[in-house]
Amino acid sequence: MLAGKCFTHQIFLMKACSTYKLLCFLFVIITTTILPLAHGDLKSDEEALLAFAASIHHGRKINWNSGIPICSSWVGINCSRDGTHVVTVRLPGVGLTGEIPKNTLGKLNGLRVLSLRSNVIYGTLPSDLTSLPAIRNLFLQHNNLSGQIPTFPKQLSILDLSYNSFSGTIPPSVIQNLTHLTVLNLQNNSLSGPIPNITLPRLKHLNLSYNHLNGSIPSSLQKFPKSSFLGNSFLCGLPLRTPCSSPLRPPPLSPPNAHLSHGPEERGHRKKFIIIIAVAACGTAVIFLVALLILMKRKKSEGRGVLKGKPSGGGRSEKPSEEFGSGVQEAEKNKLVFFEGCSYNFDLEDLLRASAEVLGKGSYGTGYKAILEESITVVVKRLKEVIVGKKEFEQQMEIIGRVGQHPNVVPLRAYYYSKDEKLLVCDYFSRGNLAMLLHGNKATGRTALDWETRVKIALAAARGIAHIHSTGGPKFTHGNIKSTNVLINQEDSDARISDYGLAPLMNAPAARSRHPGYRAPEVIETRKHTHKSDVYSFGVLLLEMLTGKQPTQSPGRDDMVDLPKWVQSVVREEWTAEVFDVELLRYQNVEEDMVQMLQIAMACVVKVPEMRPSMDDVVRMVEEVQQSDPENRASSEENKSKDSSNVQTP
């Protein structure tokens, strides 16, 4: 029946286009033949991927099934712009174990990028995979692949086979054929023989280190750094310091009477004595050099961590991977722990190689904006002064991961723990935080927050903290509520709470050194956080939103004051209107709501913890402010240009 309809459609088109027969004929062919074939390509790609997933074990769930759209919902899959075929497959660190089956990935004829790194894939590469017609970038490092290096398509741009078990020689014809190659990484394999004299004009990065290669380094490759050739004991020539094939000198002639004065036994003792002295001298030299290298490395690594970058004002900074990994142990480089349901698909190696930008330094560490492959952007927080062991750290991370499942809480996506580094991975919010919106430089184009937006943000933050309290349990607190930890969503200006639950992990004196103006009096005295101390901190946050002033206990600037004490003194003198941010005084008919919110804030910052409301009560009270009759006040947008002199004060 469908075929009949298509035939009727063809006849109709041919009759209607008799003047332009050729054009119409081509149109008919495209609409009835080529487009269905394009759809068929995507269907065949889906079948190939499902066959791959069914044939190889994978530790992490990738949630591939035919019931959901492949291009938008399958983990690690990207399609072409017209949605006709799969162009990217990225499955790093998902626990793939076994051999890559034939007639699966090798059937993806439109595939351009394949990343299966940091898995447990072994065996040889199937021939259909190494002959994909459109492949450009191939990332297979950190597996256990073996055999000789196969032939690859000449359009390949990036080839990374490092940290595998490939053996044999580097085939000159195979490499020389890759005329578009920009990156070739074969380090940490078992390759042997000489390095072929290859000329690849586009090659920017080469790494052949830690194999069993020998002979002289070809002149065409001597432009690369010596790190590209380290770990090959029998390589010589530039850029290494080992010279090649110096002529052998004949042994020195013995004196004519030497054989008369020294018998065979005496000569043997002398040789043994010389050998012992040489070994001892070499051993001493080696120990000295090792000690010197350790001392130099310690000095060089002072102040250097896993993530470095220029301050955000200076833009993004690119850096080589070795500057990212000073605190990451080689044996633990793949132990980035993801939480269930996380859609990100990268591993620790991706983070170490990413470009980073310092977002800011907070109470618990430094935050970085990290841009990974395919323009994935995340925030990596490097914790400092962590005082708990691995088991306690992981237990707290599990609670934080569970608590983060709420629309007004920033979810923790992954974490990394080692002796020297502790990293947290979260979503990136391009609009920044509440502090930037309240106190940012107007010269940079900052638009003042209107009253309705402030109420919306306050309610979202209150709901997030209330969820943290109810889900985390009576002893789980945020512990670090401040305006820089209220992140703003770009799409709807909704707010999310970040940096929660970290206080028990940190060295208390170091953690409390920043932003003391948010801390409840009992926390300053006892260093213990409770739900009620979180309520106090949220009250200070409300005062900050109402007054436009930054809270501190050591006022060194006019706009930085001890907010609770200052507001209490102003209200006591009945100068209530003097409390509010001048940015809010341009809006009319919102004074009652502002005073009501001020009363909520003051209830939160009373000195006696038991007299403060719970966060659930705070949510209910802020909801009442938001739900007040909108007809009793004009819209903020309609009144933002009004002169502040017309404001009615209570």
Measured CA to CA, the distance from residue 105 to residue 111 in angstroms comes to 9
Q: What is the pTM of this model?
A: 0.56
Q: What is the dihedral of CA 224, 229, 234, 235, to 10 degrees?
A: -10
According to the model, what pLDDT value does residue 295 have? 55
CATH 1.10.510.10 region(s) of the chain?
434-650
**Which of 92, 90, 126, 97 lies closest to 111 in space, CA to CA?**
90
What tokens does 270 get? Answer: 């002398």
SS3 382: strand
Contact between residue 244 and residue 236 where contact means Cβ atoms under 8 Å apart:
yes
CATH class of 434-650: mainly alpha
* Region(s) of the chain under CATH 3.80.10.10: 148-241
Determine contact, residues 182/207, Cβ cutoff 8 Å. Answer: no
**CA–CA–CA angle 342, 346, 347 (5° rounding):** 110
| C-alpha to C-alpha distance for 411 and 425, rounded to whole angstroms | 9
> Are 186 and 207 in contact, with CB atoms under 8 Å apart?
yes
Which residues make beta-bridge pairs with 166? 147
Give the pLDDT confidence score for residue 164 in this predicted structure: 92
Question: To which residue do tokens 């490939």 refer?
Answer: 166
**CA dist 415 to 9, 272, 379, 429, Å?**
58, 57, 11, 18
- Beta pairing partners, 501: none
CB 138 within 8 A of CB 160: yes
Cα Rg of the chain (Å, integer): 34
Q: How far apart are CA 546 and CA 618, in angstroms?
A: 16
How confident is the model at residue 266, as a pLDDT?
45
Token readout for 75 is 């983990």
- Over the stretch 294-339, which tens digit does the pLDDT of each residue have? 655 544 443 334 444 444 433 333 333 333 444 554 444 447 788 7
Q: What is the pLDDT of residues 475-486, one digit of tens each?
A: 999 999 999 999
Q: Give the dihedral of Cα atoms 53, 59, 63, 64; nearest 10 deg.
A: -10
CA 400 to chain centre: 18
Q: How far is CA 72 from CA 45, 64, 81, 94, 333, in A?
A: 14, 11, 12, 19, 30
CA–CA distance, 126 with 145 (Å, rounded to integer): 11
Does 239 sit behind a cis peptide bond, omega within 30 degrees of 0 on the bond before it? yes
Contact 174, 151 (CB under 8 A): yes
Cβ-based neighbours of 193, under 8 Å, separated by 6 or more: 168, 169, 170, 213, 214, 215
Any idea what DSSP says for residue 30?
I
Assigned token pair, 300 = 């060089």
What whole-number distance in Å separates Cα of residue 577 and Cα of residue 491? Answer: 33
In angstroms, the Cα distances linking 89 to 3, 146, 374, 459 are 35, 22, 12, 41
Cβ 102 vs Cβ 128: under 8 Å: yes
Q: Say if residues 423 and 380 touch (Cβ distance below 8 Å).
A: yes
For 28, the enclosing helix (H) or strand (E) is helix 21-29
Structure tokens of 400? 């934080």
pLDDT under 70 in the chain at which residues? 1-40, 59-61, 245-334, 340-345, 373-375, 441-446, 490-493, 508-515, 553-561, 572-577, 628-650
Q: Which position has the token pair 């979180």?
A: 534
- Locate 627 and state its tokens: 């739900």
CATH superfamily of 148-241: Ribonuclease Inhibitor (3.80.10.10)
Type of residue at 80: S
Which run of H or E residues covers position 283? helix 264-301
What is d(CA 150, CA 131) in angstroms, rounded to the nearest whole number?
A: 10
State both tokens at 640.
Answer: 């933002």
Q: What is the pLDDT of residue 321?
A: 34
Per DSSP, what are the bridge partners of residue 205?
183
In this structure, are strands 165-168 and 144-147 parallel, antiparallel, or unpaired?
A: parallel
Distance of CA 589 to the CA centre of its chain: 46
Is-contact 464 619, C-beta < 8 A? no
